[in-house]
Amino acid sequence: MKEKRRKRAADEPAEPPESLPLIPLREAVLFPHALAPLSVGRESSLAALEEASKRGRHILVSAQHDPAVDDVSPEDIYLWGTLTEIEGARRVMGSAQLVLRGISRVRLDRFVRTEPYLEAAYTAVPDVAEEGLNLDALAGSVRDVFESYVGAGAAVPQEAAQAIMRTEAPGALADLAAGAPDLTVEQKQQLLEMPRVEERLRFLLVELGRQKEVLDLKTKIQSEVEGTFGQMQREQILREQLRAIRKELGESPEGGDLDELREKLETVGMPEKVLDKARREMSRLEAMPTISPEHGMLRSYLDWLVGVPWKEPEAAADAWDTRRAKQILDEDHYGLDKVKDRIIEYMAVRERVASLQRESEARAAEGSEGTPPKMARTNRPARSPILCLVGPPGVGKTSLGKSIARALGREVVRVSLGGIRDEAEIRGHRRTYIGALPGRVIQGMRQAGVKNPVFMLDEIDKVGADFRGDPASALLEVLDPEQNREFSDHYLEVPYDLSQVLFITTANIADTIHPALLDRMELIRLPGYTEDEKLHIARRYLVPRQLLEHGLTEKHLAIGDPTLRRIIREYTHEAGVRNLEREIANVARKVPRRLAEGKKRKFVPRPADLEAVLGPPRYDFGLAETEDQVGAVTGVAVNEYGGDVMTVEAIVVPGKGDFTLTGQLGKVMEESARTAWSYARFHAARYEIARERIEDNAVHIHVPAGAIPKDGPSAGVTMCTAIVSALTGRAVRRDVAMTGEITLRGRVLPIGGVKEKILAAHRAGIKTFILPRKNTKDLVDVPEDVKKQLSIVPVEHVEEVLEAALLPRVPGAKLPASVTPISA
Ligand code: ADP
């Protein structure tokens, strides 16, 4: 049947008249055997349709060279077209919807008229199927390719795909497959102008195969992008695609580009081994067709290779001058004397180690030709530890790092490690991944552009680990001077020398730093500032800086101390000065507008004006508690934002001598609550607590904020005091804060974070601070003015705590309702 139709198409072109009206097609080619919808709107085309319908059922179509041309004349169309049969026609308001069936390719011989429609005399061109060729096998291959092309996601309508799968005759198959949506009009026209079946099939075999690859690549890229890759890689992929598209369009002067790349390769100062590899890859790139997807990847790789710094830095590394460094650190930062001293000591040691090392290497190189370099290494002086600045946000860690860089006259780069869980973030992805990139270390080096920058690794306490490998061990390799001479990045593939980089790490808390890293670090703690220190910092640094940033001078704005103090107390609540700086910026922002409104007078906001400028105060300043209460005790805790006070609460409710804990307490904290509870029960008589009061009741302890998990032993004394207060009904002094671990026998053990805790208590207006006696040695870190304003009570036993914190029982007074057992 199919065979017959094909024959008829080829054999009966004589049947229709020799000249026929013609419809020009915009952006379409219609093939014999194909069924195609067509919508006709141009007047000349409608006229052609009308005339053709009058004469019978046949009409000619041919594609326009330029689809934009409206008024088509013979020069505007291809001279190969298609004879078609009108299968259906529907006229709708000045246009017509047609369904045409292609019958045969035709050559247009001459135009018999061009007005009011085109009419052409034509010759039908039958398929040429040469004998002896295995066309069927070729057709089978085309069918297979077409099937996989559809499988790769080509937009072929289902019926069309089925028709192709069913068609056996090679010529018809070729014509149906020629309708593939990803072929261009030019390609289709080429196919239309090929009467030789074999030629058509071969053409399709290549083109469809290529389109399938393109689709596969697209899907692969898409799924990879959506899957495991982040924003950076996504950009990279898009860039690669863009580059491929540009090439396809012939827009990129790739040749010149490559010459430039090769030249860079030779001049950026790579070590010989690296250069060898780069040259090999470069030759591969030059030999590769630009449309190959690998071309883009290889190109990016070489771009990275020339992008990282290789040349030895010009300034010698011994530019460290202690006096100048001290001066710069002082210029940039108020206070922090101990921190600055330690930084300077650290740097001096580091420089000394480095110079000894250089000497010993020079000696090894001189005296021992032929000795392996390993030998020289073992004689090196001890490696210096890695500097780690630890403290809450806004205490100046980053700006200290920048000052160090300034003192050394080096570039500075910052990379945040927060939330990294994948080793590849540090070490990069292998190049075989689509969209692979080097890790953050190499990215940072490229950004720095020199081999010896000060490289700040922020948030080293927030590095995690999961199934994708352990970033901490990769970091260890980065930071270890023994290993980082030949740091290996998976993407770069060649060893990169990091030994001249000065790494400075920062963290909010030391507890969560990976132990292996911690072991190699020299911690310098910045616990936070007192109110007076903040005031100085604001006056000397923050206000002048904000004036500058807002294009103002002292003539426009002055913020006096009382106003600054109110901002510190009521608009910020922090250990550092980050929010303080932000609020000062908020004040400064108002000035340009005042000036624009013609208010030329200097703006000097008083404390009372702040609400109009900054809105209502955000924090209460003053005591954590406003009255002395039973069962409410002020404790202090340290978290990554610095120290803070919190109120531990206890009440007595009917029960069976048990107790309840709430507030998301960790295991250690829970055990310390149990210890406190046992201690209180054991010593009930000493505090005049009746046995029934314990046995018929239960104690409930709550540690706010309830939603935040907390742990650690240092709230032991606080919980014990709350329990005893609740059981005895003795109120707790509201201006007392305390900290300390407690043992079953009531001994008070030392805790950490003393300075942070005392600063937080001082900030909250506490007058008396109860501290484990063993911690009194830590008081040297606490600023004098704070020590003057706080009375610090060193204790060894919880009895002393209770003595200092609990008010005497009011004789004859009844227990407050909240602590009176309902059964009593
Ligand atoms: P961190 O890195 O610890 O979060 P930053 O270094 O970003 O903090 O400091 C926040 C802002 O406070 C910076 O503008 C910094 O210059 C300023 N700052 C912090 N401490 C001081 C100080 N002691 N003297 C002067 N400015 C300071």
Cβ-count burial 597-607 (b if 16+ within 10 Å, e if not): eeeeeebebeb
Structure confidence at residue 819 (pLDDT): 44
Average pLDDT over residues 702-714: 74
In this structure, are residues 154 and 183 in contact, taking their beta carbons and an 8 Å threshold?
A: no
What's the CA-to-centroid distance between 576 and ligand 1, angstroms?
7
Q: Which atom from ligand 1 is nearest to the alpha carbon of 332?
A: 25
Residue to substitute in 541, 547, 583 for testing ligand 1 pocket (most ligand atoms within 8 angstroms of CB): 541
Is residue 8 predicted with pLDDT exceeding 50?
no
Please tell me which residue, 669 or 84, carries the higher pLDDT value: 84
Structure confidence at residue 631 (pLDDT): 86
Q: Which residues contact 105 (CB under 8 A, 6 or more apart)?
A: 32, 80, 81, 82, 83, 124, 125, 192, 193, 195
pTM: 0.60
What's the CA-to-centroid distance between 332 and ligand 1, angstroms?
9
What's the CA-to-centroid distance between 570 and ligand 1, angstroms?
20
Residue 398's pLDDT band, with cuts at 50, 70 and 90, is very high
Cβ-count burial 126-141 (b if 16+ within 10 Å, e if not): bbeeeeeeebeebbeb
DSSP letter string over 348-388? Answer: HHHHHHHHHHHHHHHHHHHH-TTS-HHHHHHTSPPPPPEEE
Q: What is the mean pLDDT of the chain?
A: 84
757: annotated active-site residue = yes
Give me Rg for the CA atoms of the chain. 41
Residue 233's pLDDT band, with cuts at 50, 70 and 90, is low
What's the CA-to-centroid distance between 642 and ligand 1, angstroms?
14
Average pLDDT over residues 662-676: 86
Residue 194's pLDDT band, with cuts at 50, 70 and 90, is very high
Residue 509's pLDDT band, with cuts at 50, 70 and 90, is confident
Q: Domain 322-525 belongs to what architecture?
A: 3-Layer(aba) Sandwich (3.40)
Is residue 336 predicted with pLDDT exceeding 60?
yes
Please state which CATH class domain 17-125 belongs to: mainly beta
Structure confidence at residue 255 (pLDDT): 54
- Residue 469 is classified by DSSP as B
Q: Which atom from ligand 1 is nearest to the alpha carbon of 577?
A: 12
Lowest mean pLDDT among 378-387, 529-538, 755-764: 378-387
CATH 1.10.8.60 domain locations along the chain? 531-614
* Euclidean distance between CA atoms 716 and 676, whole angstroms: 6
Strands 768-772 and 736-738: parallel
Model confidence over 723-748: pLDDT tens digits? 999 888 888 998 999 999 998 888 99
* Euclidean distance between CA atoms 169 and 129, whole angstroms: 11
Q: Which atom from ligand 1 is nearest to the alpha carbon of 336?
A: 23
Residue to substitute in 577, 582, 640, 641 for testing ligand 1 pocket (most ligand atoms within 8 angstroms of CB): 577
In which element (H, E) is residue 303 found? Answer: helix 293-307
Is residue 346 predicted with pLDDT exceeding 60?
yes
Lowest mean pLDDT among 16-20, 42-46, 347-351, 374-378: 374-378
The pair of structure tokens assigned to 622 is 């003053």
Q: Ligand 1 site: residues with CB under 6 angstroms?
A: 333-336, 391, 393-399, 537, 541, 576-578, 581
Which is the catalytic residue, given 340, 451, 710, 757? 757
Model confidence over 106-135: pLDDT tens digits? 999 999 988 889 999 999 999 988 766 678
The pair of structure tokens assigned to 150 is 């559809």
CATH 3.30.230.10 domain locations along the chain? 629-805
CATH 2.30.130.40 domain locations along the chain? 17-125
Query: Between the CA of residue 195 and those of 16, 27, 294, what are the distances in Å?
Result: 20, 21, 37
Q: Domain 531-614 belongs to what architecture?
A: Orthogonal Bundle (1.10)
Residue 564's pLDDT band, with cuts at 50, 70 and 90, is very high
* Euclidean distance between CA atoms 244 and 252, whole angstroms: 9
Model confidence over 417-445: pLDDT tens digits? 887 888 888 898 888 777 788 999 999 99
Residue 6's pLDDT band, with cuts at 50, 70 and 90, is very low
Shortest-distance Cα residue to atom 19 of ligand 1: 396
Q: Domain 629-805: give its CATH code.
A: 3.30.230.10
Model confidence over 238-265: pLDDT tens digits? 767 776 776 666 655 555 578 888 888 8
Please tell me which residue, 13 or 451, carries the higher pLDDT value: 451
Lowest mean pLDDT among 183-187, 314-318, 566-570, 714-718: 314-318
Average pLDDT over residues 679-688: 85
